[in-house]
A and B are shown apart, each in its own frame.
Chain A
Amino acid sequence: MLTSELRNNVLVVRVAEKRVDASKAPAFKDEMTQCIESGQSQLVLDLSNVDFVDSSGLGAIVACLKQLGPRGNLAIAGAKGAVSRLFTLTRMDKVFALHDTVDSAVEKLSS
């Protein structure tokens, strides 16, 4: 469900699924864990293709942030509509840096 590419030492992980919900959260977490265990500590999660995230999906994203630890960064790019609203409602917009585009997120993390 994820594709990734390295840009300026930042790993951009794109979610191909339209929904990150309770049925998809375990697979999402497993694939993200592989990215993190490969040694990447600066990550951008591209949610521009995603229409819906529930609390299980959000919990999986938080779990990835915790796995990265204080020395890593996980920025969110392209969250819109219901997805952006969920981050605001749960105050996760204070936890994750939300960027409109992957380009701006990569620029910030690689600077």
Chain B
Amino acid sequence: MISSIDLFIDSDLDKVVQIALAVRGLCTGLVSEDDLDAVELSVVEAINNVIKHGYGGQPGRDIRVLVGLHKEQVVIEIVDHAPPMQADLLNQASEERFAFDETNLADIPEGGMGLALIRMNMDEVEYSSSEGENRLRMIKRIGPRPS
């Protein structure tokens, strides 16, 4: 591992930008610009989910973000102590969420897009929950550098 960084915020939507920009900064130079966007969006969606759905919007609860910078991949883990997410939600989330009928206004989604976006933007996503602690592990592989 090149380095490992541990970040903490409390469950306040206004503070998510700080972690998002910190993670983006840590990954800058390791992955492409498109992948930086993908990682930033995934981190934001994951933390928003914890704050809005896990902690029910309640401020002052803990969220830990571990960033592992490896030679071939970036590993980001979001750790919280909220009630766990329903086990199959992540596996059901996919690009199918966006297979809506664009000619039918009512069919166009306004929510429920976060997990699908995480799955679409990261190379591997796993969720586990044990002894009151939830962990969303997201991996972005580092592609060949442009010469």
Residues on A facing B (Cβ under 8 Å): 19, 21-23, 52, 54-56, 58-60, 62-63, 65-66, 69-70, 81-82, 85-86, 89-92, 94-95
Partner of B102, one of A63, A85, A91: A91
Q: Are B40 and A52 in contact (CB under 8 A)?
A: yes
Q: How far is the CA of A42 from the CA of B15 in the complex (A)?
A: 35
B100 interface hit (Cβ, 8 Å): yes
Residue of B nearest to A56 (CB): B48
Q: How far is the CA of A52 from the CA of B105 in the complex (A)?
A: 24
Number of A-B contacts (CB under 8 A): 74
Residue of B nearest to A64 (CB): B110
B82 shortest CB reach to chain A, Å: 16
B-side contacts of A52, CB under 8 Å: 20, 40-41, 44
Q: Mark B41-79, 1 if CB is under 8 A from A, else 0.
A: 100110010011000000000000000000000000000
Residue of A nearest to B37 (CB): A82
Q: How far is the CA of A60 from the CA of B113 in the complex (A)?
A: 12
Smallest CB-CB A-B distances: 3 pairs: A23-B13, A82-B37, A55-B113
Q: Are A70 and B105 in contact (CB under 8 A)?
A: yes
Q: Which of B1-49 contact A (CB under 8 A)?
A: 13-14, 16-17, 20, 33-34, 37, 40-41, 44-45, 48
Q: How far is the CA of A52 from the CA of B111 in the complex (A)?
A: 17
Partner of A22, one of B16, B100, B120: B16
Given contacts A56-B48, A69-B105, contact A82 B41 (CB under 8 A): yes
B109 interface hit (Cβ, 8 Å): yes
A-B contact pairs, 19 of them (CB 8 A): A22-B16, A22-B48, A22-B51, A23-B13, A54-B48, A54-B114, A55-B45, A60-B110, A62-B110, A66-B108, A70-B105, A82-B40, A86-B41, A89-B117, A89-B121, A90-B98, A90-B113, A91-B100, A94-B102
